[in-house]
């Protein structure tokens, strides 16, 4: 501690010691030397800047414009100078002297020619008229008028004429087309319960043609109402023989009148294919079973099943025909097949179960 105190004391003494005149003291500056030096530096910089600017102006001045002392030229010198300036064309025009901007010239655009008609010569009245052999003399007024009339007539001929229905021939409907349209009208009358009006319309049409479609509409409506005799009146044998649907309606009307044999004969006269006439074949097979002709009935049932084996009632019809012929095994297989198919009516399903139990017991 004593050594430290001594060092501090010595330092204080050195700081408080007086400095001799003229000796350099570390942190002090002479106040009288700062401003003159600064002014001297600024003066030198300004002088150098002036010299550099003069040199730059002199270096960039155009050689074609020498500095001359302006003096008042004499009249002869002025004339010679103007002539020289007029004869000579300056190669390079100084940037400072610019000629006056020329006025924009208005360019008149000529009309573009049409692609299809490059030239459109004037057409005279003589050229408009129909071509005639060359004549030395010019056309007269009468000829010109005639040519104009000819042109007018040609223009009228080229204009489209308005459609006129005066001379149009109406194509008559074919018998089939008229039968279809009448059948649709008769169906609307039947739906409203106007069967009498429907029969009147059918009577008017049958005076012209057989009208199988219209006959079918009216006859079916009469059968639904139980008027089989009236239905048979619209289903004569000669007309029904040519149309399977009319034969089917005729057979049903005969069966409704308890004439089974006539109904079977009507259907058996001309049997149509199964496709498109399945209802016809089912009716025929059923009536044959009732008539005791099980062999023929089984043949129709088999053809129906061969065309579509998903119909349970058809399997039942086949089973009944086979059982009636004594074919127990075939009948049992047909009954089982019918029982396995969905959609079988409840009454018919019960009948199938009873027959299967009877065949197992038998």
Tens-place pLDDT, residues 68-98: 334 454 545 544 555 344 444 444 443 333 4
Long-range CB pairs of 354-362 (<8 Å, 24+ gap) are 355/319, 355/323, 355/331, 356/332, 359/323, 359/328, 359/331, 359/332, 359/335, 360/332, 362/328
With cut-offs at 50, 70 and 90, classify the pLDDT of residue 47.
confident
CATH number 3.40.50.1110 is the correct assignment for the domain at 278-362:
no
Please give the structure tokens belonging to residue 225.
């109402």
Where are the domains positioned within the chain?
175-270, 278-362
Q: What residues contact 62, with CB distance under 8 A and at least 6 apart?
A: 94
**Residue 128 has what pLDDT?**
33
The model's pTM is: 0.54
Cα torsion at 212, 214, 217, 223 (round to 10°)? -70
Residue 282 pLDDT more than 60? Answer: yes
Residue 201, pLDDT > 60, answer yes
Task: Tell me the per-residue pLDDT of 306-330, one tens digit each, with 9 for 90 and over.
Answer: 999 999 999 999 999 999 999 999 9
Model confidence at 111, pLDDT cuts 50, 70, 90, reads very low
**Is 274 or 99 the better-scoring residue by pLDDT?**
274
Is residue 268 very low, low, confident or very high in pLDDT (cuts 50, 70, 90)?
very high
**Highest mean pLDDT of the ranges 4-18, 42-56, 58-72, 282-296:** 282-296
Predicted confidence band of residue 44 (pLDDT cuts 50, 70, 90): confident
Least confident of 34-38, 213-217, 227-231, 344-348: 34-38
Mean pLDDT of 151-172: 51
Q: Give CA–CA dist 146/149, Å, rounded.
A: 5
Mean pLDDT lowest for which of 9-18, 87-96, 148-157, 274-283?
87-96
3 state DSSP class of 91 = coil
pLDDT at 246 over 80: yes
| 203-222: average pLDDT | 95
CB atoms within 10 A of CB 65: 9
The three-state secondary structure class of 25 is coil
């Amino acid at each position: 501690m004593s050594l430290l105190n001594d060092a501090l004391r010595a330092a204080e003494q050195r700081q408080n010691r007086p400095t001799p005149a003229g000796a350099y003291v570390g942190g002090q500056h002479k106040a009288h030397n700062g401003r003159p030096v600064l002014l001297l530096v600024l003066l030198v910089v300004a002088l150098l800047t002036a010299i550099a600017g003069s040199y730059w102006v002199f270096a960039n001045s155009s050689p074609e414009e020498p500095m001359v002392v302006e003096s008042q030229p004499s009249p002869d010198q002025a004339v010679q100078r103007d002539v020289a300036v007029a004869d000579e064309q300056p190669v390079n025009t100084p940037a400072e002297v610019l000629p006056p901007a020329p006025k924009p010239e208005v360019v008149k655009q000529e009309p573009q020619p049409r692609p299809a008609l490059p030239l459109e010569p004037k057409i005279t009245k003589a050229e408009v008229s129909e071509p005639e052999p060359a004549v030395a003399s010019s056309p007269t007024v009468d000829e010109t008028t005639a040519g104009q009339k000819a042109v007018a007539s040609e223009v009228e001929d080229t204009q489209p004429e308005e459609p006129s229905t005066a001379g149009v021939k109406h194509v008559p409907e074919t018998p089939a087309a008229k039968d279809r349209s009448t059948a649709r009208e008769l169906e609307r009358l039947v739906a409203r319960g106007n069967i009498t009006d429907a029969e009147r319309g059918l009577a008017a049409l049958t005076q012209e043609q057989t009208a199988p479609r219209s006959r079918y509409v009216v006859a079916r409506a009469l059968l639904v109402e139980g008027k089989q005799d009236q239905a048979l009146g619209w289903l004569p044998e000669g007309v029904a023989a040519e149309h399977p649907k009319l034969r089917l309606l005729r057979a049903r009307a005969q069966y409704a009148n308890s004439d089974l044999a006539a109904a079977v004969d009507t259907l058996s006269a001309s049997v149509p294919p199964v496709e498109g006439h399945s209802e016809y074949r089912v009716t025929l097979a059923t009536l044959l079973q009732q008539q005791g002709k099980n062999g023929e009935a089984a043949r129709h049932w088999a053809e129906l099943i061969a065309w579509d084996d998903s119909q349970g009632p058809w399997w039942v019809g086949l089973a009944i025909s086979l059982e009636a012929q004594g074919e127990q095994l075939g009948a049992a297989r047909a009954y089982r097949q019918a029982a396995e198919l969905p959609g079988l009516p409840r009454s018919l399903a019960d009948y199938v179960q009873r027959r299967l139990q009877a065949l197992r017991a038998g």
